Each structure stands twice: as structure tokens, then as C-alpha cells.
Amino acid sequence: MAEVLLFHHALGPNAGLDAFADELRQAGHTVHTPDLFEGRTFGSIEDGVGYAREVGWDEIMARGERAAEALSNELVYGGFSLGVVPAQKLAQTRPGAAGALFFSSCLPVSEFGAWPAGVPVQIHGADADPYFMDEGDVDAARELVDTADDAELFLYPGDQHYFADSSLPSYDADATRLLTDRVLAFLARIG
């Protein structure tokens, strides 16, 4: 079974993240869900991103690195939206990564150097999500798919950024079921 370090989105840790992590746990995987916001939660993407900017992206990434320190190097690094930032950095820079799962976000690989050989990755996003489609994330994801040994991009119909968060009105149960099935198959292959 795989061990996953899963980072939350800009609203902070919430019941939707816990529910997704629990689904992975029920399949036998170990999932860690650290709090990058030190107990803070937000009602909008803008407020959460504003907090991250105030604290500093370097500090957000450092919090992610500290969360990984006590864990095995053979982790699958995952993140939802803002959480992709530390997940992608760790997947690209911490030796021994077992894989990566990026939800609703992807940075250019050049942000953290090259993509490590042999590290599989899945990127999931909504095909009309303005954050994912219009801000460069889908382009970064396509570049990653074109250059990595084992990379997949999955697009789901819809315009909601947090479509996989069951605690929010933007939740899309059908898309999330398909996403979860793909993630579980990915983890089964790795673990």
C-alpha cells in the first residue's frame, strides 16, 4: 500500500479533504493531511491565497517540507490547488518520491528543476475551471505529460475549481467518483 502526504487547498483543512483522505485510507493506504495554515480556514480562494501571500510562499513550502521530515522518503505527494505548490516541490526535490497527485493545479516543472525520472504523476482538473484552464495550470500539466516518463492529465466536465471537495456546494459527485477511481488505481500500481 502507498503512503500519501496530501496538502489542502486555499480554504484550509476541511471535512472534504478528510473525506477524500478517508476514502484512500479505506483502500488500505496511509494518508497524512498536515495543516499548512496553522489552524486557519477561509471562506474564499482569494482569502486563503491572501493568507498564503501574507505568510509567504517560501513559508508555505517550508511547512510542507517540515510535514514530510518525519515521514518516509517513498511518499506519494498530493495536493489540492494551493496544496499542489508544496506537493510538487517535494515530488521534484525530495529524493525517493513514489509518485504525485495534483488536483486543480500544476506548476511549470521548471519552477523546481526537472521532473525526476521514474516518478509517476496524475493531474486532475475541470475542463472549464477558470483557475486551471486560464491561469497556465493546464499548460504546465500538458508540458509535464509531454516530458515525464509516466504522467497523465485527466479533465472533467465542469467549471468548479473545488469539484472534488464533498463539503462544498461546488462538489461534483460523478466527477469525484471517477477521479477517486483513477487515484485508487494509481496508488494500487505504486503501492
Distance CA 172, CA 137 (A): 20
Structure confidence at residue 191 as a pLDDT band (50, 70, 90): confident
Could you give all domains of the chain from N- to C-terminal order, each with its CATH number? 3-190 (3.40.50.1820)
Distance CA 102, CA 98 (A): 14
pLDDT in tens, 129-172: 999 999 999 999 999 999 999 999 999 999 999 999 999 999 99
Distance CA 183, CA 186 (A): 5
**pTM value surpassing 0.95:** yes
